[in-house]
Structure 1
Amino acid sequence: MRPEIDKDNCIGCGNCYNICPAEPNVFEADDHHCQVVNPDACIGCMECEVNCPVSAIRMIDD
């Protein structure tokens, strides 16, 4: 599994970046949007999906 971000809904809050326990971080955040930069680092904990305030992240099967 890996996270996918709906860029139309993402508000760039950085919750996914801040909550992600993976090393290296799965996400990169700026003032406008977040993006998945290291999908192979994802451990499947789903914390990003659960903590996204606008439900812009969903886990998908590879």
Structure 2
Amino acid sequence: MADKTLVCKDCGKEFVFTEGEQNFYKEKGFDNEPQRCVDCRKARKQQNNNRGFRR
């Protein structure tokens, strides 16, 4: 497996989905690649926390 360059669906910036992250996703049984960059994931998580959603 090699690093993959993906495009964030929120901000449109490219980000790297590393080989280590890919292995982690595979071990956890996740079928889909991440759709958002780290910054947008953090922002979305913060928004959800502010709305009362669980972590």
- Larger relative contact order (Cα-Cα within 8 Å, sequence gap ≥ 6): 1
TM-score for both structures, normalised by structure 1: 0.24
- Structure with a larger share of its residues in strand: 1
- Structure with a larger share of its residues in helix: 2
